[in-house]
């Protein structure tokens, strides 16, 4: 599989959910390497404000709305030229017992975490394929490989993104466009705030940004960050259920089911508005 090189200097990069967290760190990392960066976010005020700090542009975007997504990419291409790299990053993570969360929350999670990615790929791929050049990064999660009590619908959305990425990657491999899934473990951002995910380490958003930027050169299919947590998640799939049950009990794997801390309540209140 060979892809034509994308030089980061001058590359046109669009990032969803780029106002804060991993999206913002990724935007900063690309901008630091000379890329032309455009971020879209529900919070367009914050997107514009933060983009100004690294010479990028910010736009209002709701990834669940394909027309809004199309307008975002059209604006980016009109202003900066053909898209080289798309980072589908916007996401939400409501936690709680499966039956305690309602159908509205299920729908929101799937609409943002899965349909947001589908819309972005449907819109960006045709131009990239026509040019025979491009790279798409879908920010999934290790929760796309490893089930967690209290994150069932989130797990479902991320397992779906991992599968979508792997299948489309195969389909377009010979046409110059690479598609990569980045799988973060727990990251120190609003999305995971107030959630005790121990013993899974909480890494920095900039660590995930480095993995996303690194994928432009490596074009790997799946990149876990940190890598060793990815290896553990893969090993877990080969471990017999009784052994995993014991390991999970020792890990105290029901932390996402615990009552909300104040910090978690604040994140949940923000989701109520979405
Ligand atoms: N933080 C973690 O522990 C962690 C772990 C694994 C994977 N991830 C994934 O990383 C991605 C980024 O998460 P984060 O931790 O930076 O979260 P975050 O909450 O810090 O930032 C998410 C951003 O996405 C935006 N957003 C939400 N819904 C949107 C929509 N409909 N349209 C456009 N923008 C929208 C928000 O406004 C926010 O700016 C998500 O896909 C998440 O699932 C995060």
Sequence-separated (6 or more) residues with CB below 8 Å from residue 82: 12, 127, 131
Q: Using one digit for the tens of pLDDT, what is the confidence trace for 89-125? A: 999 999 999 999 999 999 999 999 999 999 999 999 9
Label residue 170 by pLDDT band (50, 70, 90): very high
* pLDDT tens per residue, range 237-272: 999 999 999 999 998 899 899 888 899 999 989 898
Q: Is the CB of 93 under 6 A from ligand 1?
A: yes
**Ligand 1 close to Cβ of residue 17 (< 6 A):** yes
**The token pair that represents 272 in the structure block:** 């109520």
Atom of ligand 1 nearest to the CA of 46: 39
Q: In angstroms, what is the span from residue 184 Cα to ligand 1's centroid?
A: 12
In this structure, which residue's CA is closest to atom 19 in ligand 1? 191
Q: How confident is the model at residue 1 (pLDDT cuts 50, 70, 90)?
A: low
pLDDT in tens, 20-59: 999 999 999 999 999 999 999 999 999 999 999 999 999 9
Which two tokens mark 73?
């990419």
Q: For the segment 208-224, what is each residue's pLDDT rounded down to a tens digit?
A: 999 999 999 999 999 99
Neighbour-count burial for 45-76, b at 16+ CB within 10 Å, e otherwise = ebbbebbeebebbbbbbbbbebeebeebbebb
> How far is Cα 44 from Cα 22, in angstroms, rounded to an integer?
16
DSSP state of 135: E
Both tokens assigned to 65: 């709305």
Note the pLDDT of residue 31.
Answer: 98
Which residue among 59, 69, 154, 172 is the active-site one? 154
Query: What's the pLDDT band for 19 if we cut at 50, 70, 90?
Result: very high
CA 237 to ligand 1 center in whole angstroms: 26
pLDDT confidence bin for 88, thresholds 50/70/90:
very high
Domain boundaries, the chain: 12-272
Q: Is 90 in the pocket of ligand 1 (CB under 6 A)?
A: yes
Average pLDDT, the chain: 96
pLDDT score at 2: 81
Cβ of 191 less than 6 Å from ligand 1: yes
Active site residue 154: yes
pLDDT of residue 46: 98
CB 101 within 8 A of CB 149: no
The answer to whether the beta carbons of residues 24 and 32 sit under 8 Å apart is no
Q: How many percent of the chain have pLDDT more than 70?
A: 99
Q: Nearest C-alpha to atom 24 of ligand 1 is from which residue?
A: 17
Answer whether 120 contacts ligand 1 (Cβ < 6 A). no
The CATH number assigned to the domain with range 12-272 reads 3.40.50.720
pTM value is 0.97
């Amino acid at each position: 599989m060979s892809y034509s090189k994308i030089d980061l200097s001058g590359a046109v990069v669009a990032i969803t959910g780029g106002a804060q967290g991993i999206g913002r760190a990724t935007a900063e990392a690309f901008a630091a390497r000379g890329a032309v960066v455009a971020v879209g976010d529900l919070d367009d005020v914050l997107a514009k404000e933060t983009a100004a700090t690294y010479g990028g542009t910010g736009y209002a975007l709701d990834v669940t709305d394909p027309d809004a997504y199309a307008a975002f990419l059209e604006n980016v291409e009109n202003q900066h030229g053909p898209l080289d790299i798309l980072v589908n990053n916007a996401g939400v993570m409501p936690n709680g017992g499966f039956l305690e969360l309602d159908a509205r929350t299920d729908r929101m999670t799937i609409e943002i975490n899965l349909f947001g990615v589908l819309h972005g790929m449907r819109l960006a791929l045709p131009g990239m394929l026509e040019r025979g050049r491009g790279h798409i990064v879908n920010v999934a999660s290790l929760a796309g490989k490893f089930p967690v009590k209290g994150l069932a619908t989130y797990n479902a959305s991320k397992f779906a993104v991992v599968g979508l990425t792997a299948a489309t990657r195969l389909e377009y491999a010979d046409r110059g466009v690479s598609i990569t899934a980045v799988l973060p473990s727990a990251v120190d951002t609003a999305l995971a705030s107030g959630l005790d995910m121990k013993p899974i380490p909480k890494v920095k958003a900039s660590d995930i940004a480095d993995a996303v930027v690194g994928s432009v050169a490596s074009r790997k299919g799946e990149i876990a960050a940190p890598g060793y947590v990815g290896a553990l998640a893969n090993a877990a799939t080969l471990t017999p259920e009784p052994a995993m049950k014991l390991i999970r009990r020792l890990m105290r794997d029901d932390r996402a089911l615990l009552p909300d801390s104040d910090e978690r309540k604040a994140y949940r209140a923000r989701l109520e508005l979405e």
